[in-house]
Amino acid sequence: MNPSSARHAEAPASQPDAGYLLAVSDLRVQFETSRGTVHAVDGVTYGVRRGETVALVGESGSGKSVSALAIMRLLPRTTARVSGEVLFDGRDLLALPAAHMRALRGREIAMIFQEPMTSLNPVLSIGLQLSEPLRAHLGLSEARARQRAIELLSQVGITDPEHRLRQYPHQLSGGMRQRVMIAMALSCGPKLIIADEPTTALDVTIQAQILDLLRDLSRRLGIALVLITHNLGIVARYADRVNVMYAAQLAEQAAAGPLFATPRHFYTLALLRSIPRLDRRRTARLATIEGLPPDLRDPAPGCRFAPRCAARIAACENVPRLAEIGPGHRSACVRAHEVAAAPEPAADSGARRRPAALPPLLEIEDLKKHFGVAAGPRAAMIRTPLVRAVDGVSLVIGRGETLGLVGESGCGKTTVGRLVVGLETPTSGRIRIDGRDIAGDAVRDFRGFRRKVQMVFQDPYSALNPRMTVGAFIAEPLLVHRLVPSRAAARARVTDLLRQVGLYPYMAERYPHELSGGQRQRVGIARALALEPSLIVCDEPVSALDVSIQGQVINLLESLRDRHALSLLFISHDLAVVRHICDRVAVMYLGKLMEFADRDTIYDAPRHPYTQALLDAVPVPDPAIEAARRPSRLKGEIPSPLDPPAGCVFHTRCPIATERCRREVPELRELSPGHHAACHNIGGAAA
Amino acid sequence: MSALEVTTWKAPLRRSARGLLSFARAQPLGALALVAILLMLAAGVFARLIAPADPVAIDFTAVLSPPSAAHPFGTDNFGRDILSRIIYGARTALIIGFTSSFLGCALGTLLGVTSAFYGGRVDLAMQRFVDMLLSFPIIVLALVVVAMLGRHLIAGVDVNLLLAIAIPITPQVARVIRSAALSIRAAAFIDAARIAGIGNIRIIFRHMLPNVMAPSLIMLTAFIAQAILLEASLSFLGLGVSEPTPAWGLMLAGNAVDFYREAPWIIIFPGLAISVAVFAFNFLGDSLRDWLDPRFRA
Amino acid sequence: MTRYLTHRLLLALPTLLGVAVLIFIMLRVVPGDIVELKLRGEGGNVTQDVVERERARLGLDKPLAAQFGDWMVGLVTLDFGKSMWTERPVVDEIGLRFKLSFELAILSMLIAVAVALPLGTVSALLRDTWIDYVVRFVSVAGLAMPAFWLGMLMILALLHFFNWLPPITFTPLWQDPVANLSQLIWPALAVGYRYSAVVTRMLRSSIIEVMNEDYVRTARAKGMRERIVIGRHALRNALLPTTTVVGLEFAFLIGGLVVTEQVFNLNGLGKLFVQAVTRNDFTLVQGLVMLVATVSVLVNLAVDLLYAVLDPRIRYR
């Protein structure tokens, strides 16, 4: 029997009352804004059984978070209008008097939010924030509450709980803060926990820890879980049932297995096809969803996905109804039965022709960047801590090659990118472009080699000058360096660049705030291209974009790279995206290189324990595969870069660490041609 | 001006007529303040046409006469018509207010932006300097400048008075603009400009300054208010505008102190004028900020 | 935390030094000669000889460097020289008036905080209601009305309604509290009004900002009563920047109440300042400026200390 449906069948059977714990019917939320009424949630119906894990999947603007806040009645009464019915244990939450709802909140239903950094009060101790609900809801005395708080902290895996009670949020790491949030949610023994993107702000290995913890607690204590996320991998690994939302409405509802195996809505299908896969070799360009989500102020009555759907027909203009397609499987698509027959996207050559053995374009040799290096007597008085952001990294990128740089926070990958581009000056080491060492050059030295290296930034919202038109922004470097003979020539070049990045030429007159995130990112790429660089450093270029837009930008980068024979230094924490676009991959941890090799080698046969743990931690959007995995989870926190471990920086969390690892820093050794790793405990020959 | 918290936000300031109407709808009291200011401006510009009498005309037959048909606001101890003096006083207040606050804001903005852009030792040095200036009450700083420079008239305008009022404004503006500029400095498009080889000066003027314009403008309204108040205070002390120029602060000073207990109207109206002016500018600034800052919208 | 405070202390010293140098330079750059102004100012007719002798006596004929040296030494030994006008030591002149100005500042602060805390909170929580508008109106009015005008109106009102004027001479609080307060309460009210306006506005915008923070949402999600959400979670955070403002404004009250003292005829530091400036009494101006700067630095340090106590992010780095 399929493990995922076994999981699903388990939950109701263990409870005598197989009815729904939470039954949401026709939930609608409208916001009054100065620009009209926004229909943020438009008729959502779903249920959660006791002990079950239900996922609410959607992109930003789909209404998933708003619906959760509406259920908890945490939306401001003045601007939000909520209608519908939300039955919790038989009672309609929307009809309850405010005092009764308040008594329920934090006690029978708890919520966990996305940003652990800001979700805890910075001036109150952990102990106080934990014991608040205990004393308010359960009436515990201060001593009893403190005791219970300690128990809770142990339950969520926090060591030394007595000490932690007296600490403040800023003294804890992101992962620990989220554990505290979970402890707070658990404190009064809830029946349901709503987790709104609980791990989006956390590192990959910490994500896995937190989600495993939630699943554990849910199973052991019989707590139902509503998991709100945009990450389909997380859904595949943890959810029993899934609700897919698009533009404030439900598109599809099913158990996890059937949803991924046989999606019945073209949106679900398109979403699944547009995300890069961690576990497969690259066979084709990403099948992207063109266009943008609709404006929720005046939505059209028909299917909201239709304008972007390749399979739309006339009937799509009718009001969509969630119809039962199979047992427990509902879809709002009129062509639900035809989704299975949709054609596969055309495969391309997959492995693209490896660039010929030309002299390397970028060579980094033993690059080091230490921040906070004390200078002068004053600094000595006030001890400035040293951050070894980059601690001896050596890499080579050939012409036309794409190198992926991956790692979690504090690993130094972003700093490497900034060093290469010239925004930071190295503490030591060499950076050679086309043979010439540019490490000492000022970023402005343009007649030198700086022009050959440009950058695409992560945040499309701060990457453009809000007060310059798109055209002026792109043209600026051309005009400043007099690379075009006249303004008219500059305009022509801007038009050409806009076309290349898939934007209409008239957008040159627009301001950034009139563009969407994806469009802004395209403008950033156009500007990077303007100077005709040989190497573009892409610093998390798609991380801030919606899932369906990510694919568009990735495809764009690929085609531009191929067209202009560019080299790319692709920095990302998203391992699936990196697998899709890169030729070779390097893994960093706390400023040092752990492993680097060909793309397929790294993903299919990683040798370094950190790489292995990293790949284990990332869930794959396929429940069948996920259920069959028995991954080992990495324990412990990522050490602070202010105080890295001695010897091998990874040894504190490494499953195969030995005494030698604590003392000696491992050298980067070549295990097989093109495959390097820095570990004492792995053999020379490939397994 | 610690109550004025400034944020940077993404949409550029809309200067079209549509923007004005939407402002009026969103912030009715602010629009009212704007109207009051425009009236003051009109009074200042068309003073000669509006004022019923010559503001400096002495008339010993009508000394300290209470408000009447001939003199709606009464007369002072020289028999001068108070209403006319107030109307002409608007001109003085606005000229001095606008000029010195503009000067102070421009200097402060440049200082703040440069300090934020270069960072490091330049920033540290400028910050120390600004902190030093900020450790004085505004009036004290103004008095010191006055003590230092004395009077220096150019075309009937006391330039040193303008400086005395502008100088205390500069560090206040610099401090606030610096923090706004720091957040812009951290934005990716500044990095993009540096990578593209664009020079520092151009980055400061083309990329950073335009993005602090919005907060700068709001500060300007608040500091016009401060400038008017400061000028009134200095004139009151006898260290600002001097006789016989009509100035509201001056009207409250000197001889007024001796006579106001018998003839309260000689201080009520000038003080009211100052209050209304400062009030209007402050309220306008507040409303502008509430309107533009997305955090403060409902 | 000790490191933080030491850091702050170390920063304060260069500031004071900078002020000392700056004020020295500024006053020597002045056009016109103080001695001439003093001796000839009132139309007196003195010979150049007398002027030269007076200059030598006041030490103004020494080279600038020597004068600066004297000034620096004087700072350390707290000898600010003699007032060029009254010939009495600067320290004495200041000392006489310090008590009054200090008490006035404290009174004003107490009034301001007592008024601002409830008004600011109410205004923030009842945002956009008529109460909010009234409070905001009254606050802005407090900022707009010149303090001296307000003082004049007060005196007018006292005269008109009670036929009474506040006393002119200062009696210390412990000697005769009634006399003391009947003199100082009025200027304290006038100054306190403006002071409270600044604090009210700051508190209001702080609270509004804090109420939008994530941790307030978390507190509500835990099912806490609104009273606790506001009182325990929001206010404690909103008070942090407000405390800074209270401190900063207080620092400005010592020596900054120039016009108010004039109106109420108080013999305080502000009045002394104006007199010193109008008479070009440099030593007195120097001394007063150093005092004001020192007070400002001390108050800033106190605020920093308070912040460290209130904000655990600073207490435990």
DSSP labels for A245-273? EETTEEEEEEEHHHHHHS--SHHHHHHHH
Give the rounded distance of the alpha carbon of C33 from its chain centre.
30
Yes or no, beta carbons of B12 and A511 under 8 Å apart? yes
pLDDT at A71 (0 to 100): 94
Chain B positions in Cβ-Cβ contact with residue C276 (cut-off 8 Å): 147
- Chain A and chain B share a number of CB contacts under 8 A equal to 82
- Enumerate the residues of chain C whose CB falls inside 8 A of the CB of residue B148: 26-27, 29-30
**C188-200 pLDDT tens trace:** 999 999 999 999 9
At A11 the pLDDT is 33
| Confidence class for position A569, pLDDT limits 50, 70, 90 | very high
Tell the residue number behind the tokens 């879809």, with chain if given. Answer: A331
Choose the closest CB to A454 out of B195, B199, B207. Answer: B195
For residue A243, pLDDT beyond 90 = yes
**Separation CA C122–CA C85 (nearest Å):** 51
Asked whether residue B2 carries a pLDDT value surpassing 80, the answer given is: no
What pLDDT, on a 0 to 100 scale, did the predictor assign at position C109?
A: 94
Q: What angle do CA A524, A530, A534 make, to 5 degrees?
A: 100
Q: Which residue in the set C3, C224, C316 is minimally distant from A168, CB to CB?
A: C316
State how far Cα C265 lies from the chain centre: 18
Reported as a pLDDT band with limits 50, 70 and 90, residue A384 is low
CA atoms within 13 A on the CB side of B123: 14
* Mean model confidence pLDDT for chain C: 83
**Residue A193 pLDDT > 90:** yes
B188–A421 CB contact, under 8 Å: no
Put simply, whether B298 touches C (Cβ < 8 Å) is yes
DSSP conformation class of A172: S
Q: What is the pLDDT of residue A446?
A: 64
Q: What is the DSSP letter of A512?
A: G
Which of A7-21, A245-259, A564-578, B22-36 is least confident? A7-21
Nearest-angstrom CA–CA distance, A297 and A291: 18
* Residue range A169-187: mean pLDDT, rounded: 92
Name which of B82, B93, B74 is nearest B56 in CA terms.
B82
Cβ–Cβ below 8 Å for A72 and C215:
no
Q: Please report residues of B whose CB lies closer than 8 A to that of C26.
A: 144, 148
Q: Do B11 and A513 touch (CB under 8 A)?
A: yes
Determine whether B262 is exposed, middle or buried from the number of CB atoms within 10 Å of its CB (0-12, 13-18, 19+): exposed
Instruction: Kindly state whether A102 is in contact with chain C, defined as any CB-CB distance less than 8 angstroms.
Output: yes
Q: Do A465 and B210 touch (CB under 8 A)?
A: yes
- What lies within 8 Å, CB to CB, of A294 at 6+ separation is A247, A300, A304, A307
pLDDT class of C37 with cuts at 50, 70, 90:
low
Is the CB of residue A181 less than 8 Å away from at least one CB of chain C? yes
- Comparing alpha-carbon positions, the chain C residue that sits nearest to A187 is C222
Q: What is the pLDDT of residue A351?
A: 53
| Residue C312 scores a pLDDT above 90 | no
In this complex, do B132 and C22 lie within 8 Å of one another by their Cβ atoms? yes
Task: For A22-58, give the secondary structure using H, E and C.
Answer: EEEEEEEEEEEECCEEEEEEEEEEEEEECCCEEEEEC
pLDDT at B80: 82
Instruction: Give B203-220 pLDDT, tens digit per residue.
Output: 999 999 998 887 788 888
Tokens 């925004």 locate to A423
Contact check, Cβ <8 Å, A123/C219:
no
Q: Does residue B18 carry a pLDDT above 50?
A: yes
Q: What is the pLDDT of residues A526-549, one digit of tens each?
A: 999 998 999 999 999 998 888 888
- Those of residues 21-60 in B touching chain C at CB distance below 8 A are 29
**What are the tens digits of pLDDT across the range A481-531?**
888 888 899 999 999 999 999 999 999 999 998 898 899 999 999 999 998
Identify the closest residue of chain A to C312 by CA–CA distance.
A123
Average pLDDT over residues A221-243: 94
ipTM value for the complex: 0.83
- The pLDDT of A37-42, averaged and rounded, is 90
Res. A17: pLDDT tops 50: no
Residues of B in contact with A462 (CB under 8 A): 186-189
Which chains sit next to B, with 3 or more Cβ pairs under 8 A?
A, C
Alpha-carbon span A458 to A543, nearest angstrom = 7
Query: From the list A104, A113, A136, which residue is nearest C224 (CB)?
Result: A136
Asked whether the beta carbons of residue B261 and residue C159 sit closer than 8 angstroms, the reply is: yes
* B residues 248..287 contacting C (CB < 8 A): 249, 252, 257, 260-261, 264, 267-268, 270-271, 274-279, 282-283, 286
Mean pLDDT over C153-169 rounds to 82
Output the pLDDT for position C278. 79
pLDDT score, position B155: 62
Q: State the pairing for strand pair A592-598/A567-572.
A: unpaired
Q: How far is residue B141's CA from residue B134's CA, in Å, rounded to a whole number?
A: 9
- C272-301 tens-digit pLDDT: 888 888 777 777 888 888 888 888 888 888
For C53, C61, C77, C81, the CA distances from C57, given in Å and listed in that order, are 6, 9, 21, 12
Average pLDDT in the B115-121 region? 88
**Which of A357-361, A410-414, B61-65, B223-227 shows the lowest mean pLDDT across its residues?**
A357-361
The per-residue pLDDT for A12 is: 33
Please state, in angstroms and rounded to a whole number, the distance separating the CA atoms of residues A503 and B111: 39
Do C143 and C198 meet the contact criterion of CB atoms below 8 Å apart? yes
Q: Do C218 and A121 touch (CB under 8 A)?
A: yes
Average per-residue pLDDT for chain B: 81
DSSP state of C231: I
Q: Which residue of C has its CA nearest to B283?
A: C140
The yes-or-no verdict on residue A399 having pLDDT over 80 is yes
The whole-angstrom separation of Cα A343 and Cα A284 is 14
Which position has the token pair 């209008």?
A81
Pairing mode, strands A428-433 and A362-371: antiparallel
Average pLDDT on A597-604 reads: 91
Opening angle at CA C15, ends C13 and C18, nearest 5: 110
The better pLDDT of the pair B298, A454 is held by A454
Distances (CA, A) of C312 to A640, B160, B235, C315: 20, 47, 47, 5
Count CB neighbours of A19 within 10 A. Answer: 13
- Span B11-26, average pLDDT: 64
Which residues have a Cβ under 8 Å from the Cβ of B282 and sit 6 or more positions away? B221, B222, B225, C140, C143, C144
Q: Looking at chain B, list the stretches that DSSP marks H as alpha helix, in order from N- to C-terminal side.
A: 17-26, 28-45, 47-50, 82-118, 120-134, 138-149, 159-185, 188-195, 200-202, 209-236, 248-251, 255-259, 265-292
Identify the CA nearest to B240 among candidates B154, B130, B161.
Answer: B161
Classify burial at B298, counting beta carbons within 10 Å of its beta carbon; exposed 0-12, middle 13-18, buried 19 or more.
exposed
In the prediction, which pLDDT does B235 show? 85
pLDDT given at position C120: 92
Average pLDDT over residues C307-312: 85
pLDDT digits (tens, 9 = 90+) for C98-157: 888 888 999 999 999 999 999 999 999 888 888 998 998 899 888 888 888 888 888 888
Q: First-to-last CA distance in chain A?
A: 33
The Cα A437–Cα A22 span in angstroms is: 64
CA A184/CA A181 separation, integer angstroms: 5
pLDDT in tens, A263-307: 999 999 988 888 888 888 877 888 888 888 888 887 888 888 888
Mean pLDDT value of segment A566-587: 93
Which structure tokens are listed for A133?
């609900």
Which residue in A has a C-alpha nearest to residue B8's C-alpha? A466
Instruction: Give the whole-angstrom CA distance, residue C152 versus residue B251.
Output: 13
Residue A467 and residue B10: Cβ atoms within 8 Å? no
Contacts of C222 in chain A (CB under 8 A): 105-106, 110, 132-133, 136, 184
Q: How confident is the model at residue A1 (pLDDT cuts 50, 70, 90)?
A: very low
Phi, psi dihedral angles at A251 (to 5 degrees): -95, -45
Nearest to A224 by CA among A56, A82, A69: A56
Beta A535-539 vs A453-456: how paired, if at all? Answer: parallel
Chain C residue numbers with beta carbons less than 8 Å from the beta carbon of A115 are 214
Provide the token pair at A311: 């399979």
Give the mean pLDDT of A219-227.
Answer: 94
Residues on chain B touching C198 (C-beta within 8 angstroms): 2-3
Name chain B contacts of C143, Cβ cutoff 8 Å. 225, 278-279, 282
- The CA distance from C260 to the nearest CA of chain A, in Å, is 39
What average pLDDT does the structure give for chain A? 86
Residues with Cβ within 8 Å of residue A103, at least 6 apart in sequence:
A137, C223
Model confidence at A358, pLDDT cuts 50, 70, 90, reads low
Region of A51 (left: φ > 0; alpha: ψ -120 to 50; beta: rest) is left
Is residue B108's pLDDT more than 80? yes
| pLDDT-based confidence at residue B24 (cuts at 50, 70, 90) | confident
- In contact, B188 and A462? CB cutoff 8 Å: yes
The DSSP letter of residue A96 is: S
Residue B126 forms contact with C (CB below 8 Å): no
Q: What is the distance between the alpha carbons of residues C67 and C79, in angstroms, rounded to a whole number?
A: 14
User: CB-based contact (8 Å) between B230 and chain C?
Assistant: no
* Nearest-neighbour CA in chain B from C50: distance (Å): 25
Contact A444 B194 (CB under 8 A): yes
pTM of the model: 0.85
The alpha carbon of residue B26 is apart from the nearest alpha carbon of chain A, in Å, by 9
Range with the poorest average pLDDT among A115-119, B70-74, C250-254: B70-74
Question: Is B189 within 8 Å of A443 when comparing Cβ atoms?
Answer: no
